[in-house]
Structure 1
């Protein structure tokens, strides 16, 4: 099916500021081509509601160079100057990068950061890779990753939300792994450490793929397995990724409700409120949890002592989400992360 030309988001930050909630209703997902039993159904995006390009200074003029982070799956980074986010609406909803910058400031890390986003509704890694490598292409990601990349510190890679859970041998899955390795390679060539943004399962599973993703726990298990394979493939190519385990953060909240004999899917439950009404995209709570997971992953002291939260997030919820983020990051040393 023909898809409209993606529009990219550029978010530039030269000083850390607070996050602002976004009301963009674009879907994360895209329609699969028909005609093959190996192609699993994907949701259709509202591509018309993605954000337009904003005028911004080039990364080279906005902040000084910094050395690349170490080759490792975990880091304790005290200074970041440039970060690029490559993904779709799971990234640009609620201005995740801005929330993360505010969390980082609350950690006591005063710094000037250039944060750029190459995001479009429903976009997949294969599409980002095509934009980055097409000769004569005009998409910003081509300049940022291929033709004139600055010295990034981190490049965050976020895939369409169903594909990592598809089985090996599925064409969408296999193409995704290849694209992840290629994008991570371009990131590493620019001096960056790739960050694998591991997204969450849908709140009630995926009705379009009920045999594969019957409910939240089943879908999250499959996503976790898929991200393990992607991380291993990237590591085997030469540079192990930092793993942004947002899905693990959601899982910690889900498991806490179950352990307390509560229904995590009840409308007022914290887990349920991590999502917007569609049960897929993050609410401000979900984006805050994701930002805390990333902050705890990149900073030596995690979120200890950090008390900032978006204006619409209560202190009770914020504290629970920070604890969940710390629990998710603890999985780095006890799970199947490639070394």
Structure 2
């Protein structure tokens, strides 16, 4: 081959190499940006997929130019980060749990950026209105936001605490900031010898086992009700106590974690975030290697053997239920606050792709509407609605507007229903709480605090559904 032909062949090879490189990088970036294809352990899974599909390209780069390997590694490093915000108190900041989680992940090839808002003794209710916490949530499009309740309140019954209300308020702030954030509830552990402060009023708090079971029940419920994950640190803690009693997870006060306890928590968080084992981690903190290995093994088994219980198979994102509506004499406006894409269709022939849709009904009839919502995380949800409209009926108030809102604490207000109707309230598990007859244009209905789902059927048969946060 003469020099000219050799130069042409080298240029062709270089063009092919560059094309393969950018195709590979584009594929990786698309995968890394998509929670739908890679879920929340996207860095690891995308890297495996990328390497599997482009190993030939990688080999080619290696033989041709070391520079391209460096470029690929730079792309993987920059775009493979997972961001985590920890919201809690001393159970979070003692021994610097966020940093320990970060170091553990780094030893397994995962790059985590962490931040925290964790004043001593803080409750979730305090965090829900605490400016630094709100600012921290709004400062980034977080992959995960971890929420930890004050250690005693997390075990007490919901009707004597503000935990559920605070969790819902924080969830709303998180979702408003970035729909694709995975909320994670940090299940803490029972105190070493129970909680004497609450023992008299709540006998189950007198022992570690009783307090631990209450924490487990409450945190699992919080995650289920709020479509969130549970990081089962407390469950792994109990397993260590039961099987390796010589490993002391507690600080001297019998409440806060020792380094062993924080290391166990970091292992649980890693497995929760990425849904893979952490047994191969090389970061041991200050622990003996054999102790660290035991804690990694127990954390991995606790999380991965019961993914359904911890709600780790729950997708992130937002459903298609209404956030509000306005009902007029011959129209209805349906409202949704989702940041993704919307498709509203109705049997009256109208369709909309905006977050708010107003359907106008020319004649009295039964109409059916559908809302298909694609959230930014790659999830799709569909909600269906039925409207029975009596248009231009003399006794219908042309200014009527149906609203279902939170009023005074423990009260739902219903406005604008003309001629009567029925309001049914459901809790977060879908159980009917109450069914009340609406007899006037303004009614007040008793409701437990927290997020409630409602169905309103007016005298014309119009069916509306939505949700309301009750103080």
Instruction: Compute the TM-score of the two structures, normalised by the length of structure 2.
Output: 0.48
Task: Specify the alignment match of 1:222 in structure 2.
Answer: 214
Q: Does structure 1 residue 332 correspond to structure 2 residue 306?
A: yes
* RMSD over aligned Cα atoms: 2.3
| Residue 114 in structure 1 maps to residue 89 in structure 2 | no
Contact 2:134 2:173 in 1 (8 A): no
Where 2:94 maps in the other structure, the secondary structure is helix
Alignment partner of 1:248 out of 227, 230, 235: 235
How far residue 190 of structure 1 moved from its aligned partner, in angstroms, is: 2.4
* Structure with greater strand percent: 2
Q: Post-superposition shift, 1:320?
A: 0.8
Q: Distance in 1 between matches of 2:213 and 2:183?
A: 23
1:168 corresponds, among 158, 161, 173, to 158
| Cα distance change, pair 71–86 in 1 and its aligned pair in 2 (3 A) | farther
Q: Secondary structure at the match of 1:281?
A: coil
2:134 equivalent among 135, 142, 149:
142
| Cα 1:330/1:81, change in 2 over 3 Å | closer
Q: Deviations over 1:176-216 (max 9, x none)?
A: 11111221222223221111111111111111222131211
Alignment counterpart, residue 165 of structure 2, candidates 178, 187, 192: 178
Q: Secondary structure at the match of 2:86?
A: strand
Q: 1:333 to 1:85 in 2, by over 3 A?
A: closer
Give the drift of 1:70.
5.8
Match of 2:269 in 1: 294
Q: SS of 2:256's equivalent?
A: coil
Offset, 1:336: 6.7
Q: In 1, distance between residues paired with 2:174 and 2:33?
A: 14
Alpha-carbon deviations, 1:232-267, whole Å to 9, x = none? Answer: 2212xxxxx22211101101112214xxxxxx3xxx
Indicate how the Cα distance of structure 1 residues 67 and 155 shifts in structure 2: closer, same or farther if over 3 A, else same. Answer: farther
Distance 1:334 1:183, change over 3 A: closer
Q: Specify the alignment match of 2:224 in structure 1.
A: 232
TM-score, scaled relative to structure 1:
0.66
Of residues 203, 206, 221 in structure 1, which corresponds to 2:192? 203
Shift of 1:300: 4.7
Question: 8 Å contact 1:302–1:326 — kept in the other structure?
Answer: yes
Distance 1:303 1:184, change over 3 A: same
Count of aligned pairs: 241
Q: Which has the higher contact order (CA 8 A, sep 6+)?
A: 1
User: Which residue of the partner structure matches residue 96 of structure 1?
Assistant: 97
Q: Which runs of 5+ in 1 are unaligned?
A: 1-65, 132-138, 236-240, 258-263
For 1:88-130, what per-residue CA distance to the aligned partner results, in whole angstroms no more than 9, with x for missing partners? 0000000111110110011122x3x432111100000110112
- Other structure's SS at 1:102 match: helix
Which residue of structure 1 aligns with residue 253 of structure 2? 278
Q: Identify if the C-alpha distance between structure 1 residues 128 and 153 changes in structure 2 by more than 3 Å, giving closer, same or farther.
A: same
Are residues 194 and 337 of structure 1, via their aligned partners in 2, closer, same or farther at CA, if it must alter by over 3 Å? closer
Query: Counterpart of 1:126?
Result: 125
Q: Which residue, 283, 287, 292 being the options, matches 1:308?
A: 283
Structure 1 runs, 4 residues or longer, greater than 6 Å off: none
Q: Structure 1 CA distance, aligned partners of 2:101 and 2:172?
A: 25
| Alignment partners' CA distance in 1, 2:188 and 2:240 | 14
Q: What is the CA distance between 1:290 and its match in structure 2?
A: 0.3
Quote the Cα distance in structure 1 between the aligned partners of 2:102 and 2:128.
26
Taking a change above 3 Å as real, the CA distance of residues 160 and 323 of structure 1, as seen in their structure-2 partners, is same
How far apart are the structure 1 equivalents of 2:249 and 2:83?
A: 28
**1 CA distance for matches of 2:89 and 2:190?**
16
When Rg is computed on C-alpha atoms for both structures, the one with the higher figure is: 2
Unaligned runs of 5+ in 2: 1-31, 44-79, 315-471
Counterparts in 2 of 1:71 and 1:119: CA distance versus 1, 3 Å: farther
Partner of 2:417: none
Distance 1:162 1:85, change over 3 A: same
In structure 2, relative to structure 1, the CA distance for the partners of 1:142 and 1:299 (3 Å cut) is closer
